[in-house]
Amino acid sequence: MANANAPFGLRPVGTMSGNPFSGALRQYSVAAGDGTAIFIGDPVKAAGTSQIINGQVFKDVVQAATGDVIEGVVVGVLADTRDSLIYRAASTQRILLVNDDPNAIFEIQQGTGGTPLTANDVGLNANFAVGSGSTYTGLSGVTLNNVGEATTNTLDLKIVGMVNRADNDPGSSVSSGSDASRFLVRINRHRYVDQLAGV
């Protein structure tokens, strides 16, 4: 069965130690002056500023792009009112819930524009590609870029495995991939860890 092409960004599923994702998060802010919408599953980077909101200090982040040093991944947006959007709309001040654990493992769908990644690509590094998030589901459009994967230590993500689940078709062999399949990755260019080359 073909894989569904339904990007959701980066979804935390566990840690490198083998523990499941515990839900531990940190709160960050996004300034109202930032004109880019941020969705659940988007990687974010430090903005270099902070805000005081209701007497508390919050470090500012913005949506990350390929090549940026990543602070973490958005897993939720705090509601301001009962009518708040589930994502952070452009040019609005919101507080984000971010998984900034450098040892976190994330599930991500590979893109459909290049040559499908295979099981033999586990261990390599690759970039992510920013896509349009969904204002309906609130989910990110970020995918794993299947063009340019290599051992290069400056690429965004490290591929640590494939998702072994009935709804993920890995392809017909370890050397042939399937479009829109899902992989497990950790952030390679993380704010709180040294960058390591792939194997």
Q: Is residue 199 part of a domain?
A: no
Per the structure, the complete domain to which residue 10 belongs is given by 1-193
What does residue 166 show for φ and ψ, rounded to 5 degrees? -60, -25
Q: Is residue 198 part of a domain?
A: no
Torsion of CA 41, 47, 48, 50, to 10 degrees: -80
Q: Provide the number of structural domains found in the chain.
A: 1
Q: Is residue 149 part of a domain?
A: yes
Q: Is residue 153 part of a domain?
A: yes
Q: What is the pLDDT along the chain (199 residues), one digit of tens a residue?
A: 689 999 999 999 999 988 888 888 999 999 999 999 999 999 999 999 999 999 999 999 999 999 999 999 999 999 988 999 999 999 999 999 999 999 999 999 999 888 999 999 999 999 999 999 999 999 999 999 999 999 999 999 999 999 999 999 999 899 999 999 999 999 999 999 876 667 5
Q: Is residue 184 part of a domain?
A: yes
Q: Is residue 126 part of a domain?
A: yes
